[in-house]
């Protein structure tokens, strides 16, 4: 049976039993095959845009004896599915901008889809912003660390009261008497992740701070006005992250 990485196992955990799944950018169809082998999906589509990955996915499905359950298809994004054919869509291992683009371009194919499970490698805020604009409700989110990398997994659903739920989810949040997060910062940090304040979240943002320090160190070599302005902006961004994380740790204690 197929074994999954910690990242893909986290995504699999958000797929409800009996789902009709579309896994876009399926990476050898690992996730659909894993779920089908365990009877967790009634039907699955493994979508790939290029011939090479599609052939690798077909081989994986054939070797698992699951051709009757997992359909491997080649196409761009959600073009591989028909409206009302699927009720859960997973997209993982891409940038947040690309995931948002795939969803926007294929939103006509989301009829009948009740759950999105999305794992952007970067720009998670862009995915949250797309969900919010499309009246999808962020129902859960996780942050995990694997092989020195940090990943966020976002699970969103359709609700009749999406507007009300989203208004509450992204409402101004006071962490203590001295610090409050507005909706844009909640979109950046993750409203549910902020509430949980897991240790992995602190490690993730510590890693981001280290990246910002390296960028600013490099920029200090340049003497242009534009470089100075950009460095000032990054420093303000860095200081705000540090302030939020310090406050969260104090609240958690």
Interval 46-65: pLDDT, tens? 999 999 999 999 999 999 99
Rounded CA separation 115/37 (Å): 21
Measured CA distances, 25 to 94, 169, 225 (Å): 9, 29, 42
The pLDDT value recorded for residue 220 is: 62
pLDDT (tens, 9 = 90+) of the chain, 253 residues, equals 899 999 999 999 999 999 999 999 998 999 999 999 999 999 999 999 999 999 999 999 999 999 999 999 999 999 999 999 999 999 999 999 999 999 999 999 998 999 999 999 999 999 999 999 999 999 999 999 999 999 999 999 999 999 999 999 999 999 987 899 999 999 999 999 999 999 999 999 999 999 999 888 877 665 678 878 888 899 999 999 999 999 999 887 7
Rounded CA separation 212/197 (Å): 21
Task: Assess contact for 77 and 52: CB atoms under 8 A.
Answer: no
The pLDDT value recorded for residue 87 is: 97
The pLDDT value recorded for residue 222 is: 59
The pLDDT value recorded for residue 18 is: 98
Domains belonging to the chain, first-starting first, are 6-169 (3.40.50.150), 173-252 (1.10.287.1890)
Rounded CA separation 49/80 (Å): 9
């Amino acid at each position: 049976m197929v074994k999954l990485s910690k990242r893909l196992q986290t995504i699999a955990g958000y797929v409800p039993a009996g789902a009709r799944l579309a896994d876009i950018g399926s990476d050898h169809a690992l996730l659909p095959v894993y779920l089908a082998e365990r009877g967790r999906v009634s039907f699955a589509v493994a979508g790939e845009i290029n011939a090479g990955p599609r052939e690798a996915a077909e081989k994986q499905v054939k070797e698992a004896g699951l051709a009757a359950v997992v359909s491997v298809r080649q196409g761009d994004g959600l073009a591989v599915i028909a409206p009302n054919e699927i009720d859960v869509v997973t997209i993982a291992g891409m940038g947040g901008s690309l995931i948002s683009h795939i969803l926007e371009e294929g939103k006509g194919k989301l009829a009948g889809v009740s759950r999105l499970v999305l794992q952007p490698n970067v720009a998670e805020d862009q995915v949250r912003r797309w969900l919010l604009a499309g009246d999808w409700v962020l129902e859960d989110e996780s942050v995990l660390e694997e092989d020195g990398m940090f990943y966020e997994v976002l699970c969103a659903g359709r609700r009749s009261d999406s507007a009300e739920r989203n208004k509450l989810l992204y409402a101004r949040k006071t962490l203590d008497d001295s610090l409050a997060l507005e909706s844009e910062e909640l979109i950046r940090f993750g409203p549910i992740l902020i509430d949980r304040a897991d240790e992995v979240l602190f490690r993730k943002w510590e890693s981001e701070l280290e990246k910002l320090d390296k960028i600013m160190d490099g920029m200090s070599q340049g003497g242009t006005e534009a470089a100075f302005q950009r460095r000032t902006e990054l420093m303000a961004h860095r200081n705000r992250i540090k302030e939020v994380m310090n406050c969260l740790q104090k609240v958690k204690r």
